[in-house]
Amino acid sequence: MRVSTRVEYGLIALTDIVVNGENGMSVSAPDIAQRENISHKYLEHILLLLRQAGFIKAQKGLRGGYALACSPDKITLYDVVNALDKSILADIDPMSGSDLGNAVNECFWGKINGSLSSFAKEIKLGEFASQCRDASGKWDMYVI
């Protein structure tokens, strides 16, 4: 299965905002782009889509950037994926081919799609970001 870079980078950007935007602090797009090795111009396009979907808000000024518009525990991965690419979790359309071909399509792709949709509906962005933080070890924080 191929996921668009829009969805991949959108999830990365939102996770970066959750991890680096603790206590509602904003995170700048150039910082996200540099940390995550994403084209700044492409990232701005993705951030616009995330803002239009209501997941993040833009903050202007010296410490401007992006912050979550609501609690990460109110955002599901299903909502994020659908906001960025409606085709990934869409129901499987019957093929114009044979009945057996349609049955194979439903029994294989339909079940995979159903499992993916269920997973994405159950996991919240906050839990996802925590799992990613733990898995990467990249975001260890040290207080001096």
Furthest C-alpha separation in the chain:
67
For residue 64, tell me if it sits in a domain.
yes
Cα(54)–Cα(39) distance, rounded to whole angstroms?
22
Q: Domain containing 70 — which CATH number?
A: 1.10.10.10
Q: Are 45 and 33 in contact (CB under 8 A)?
A: no
Match 């919240």 to its residue by tokens.
124
| Integer Rg of the chain from CA | 18
Query: What residues contact 20, with CB distance under 8 A and at least 6 apart?
Result: 27, 31, 32, 35, 139
For residue 47, tell me if it sits in a domain.
yes
For residue 62, tell me if it sits in a domain.
yes
**What's the pTM?**
0.82
For residue 112, tell me if it sits in a domain.
no
Reading the chain (144 residues) residue by residue, the pLDDT tens digits are 567 899 999 999 999 999 998 777 899 999 999 999 999 999 999 999 999 999 999 988 877 899 999 999 999 999 999 999 987 777 666 666 678 887 887 888 788 888 888 999 999 999 999 999 888 775 455 444
For residue 131, tell me if it sits in a domain.
yes
What is the number of H-type helices and E-type strands within the chain? 7, 2
For residue 30, tell me if it sits in a domain.
yes
Domain that holds residue 10: 5-89+124-136
**What confidence score (pLDDT) does residue 127 get?**
95
CA 93 to chain centre: 25
**What confidence score (pLDDT) does residue 144 get?**
47
**What confidence score (pLDDT) does residue 94 get?**
63
The CA angle 64-66-68, to the nearest 5 degrees, is: 135
**What confidence score (pLDDT) does residue 92 get?**
65
For 59, other C-beta atoms within 10 Å of its C-beta total 15
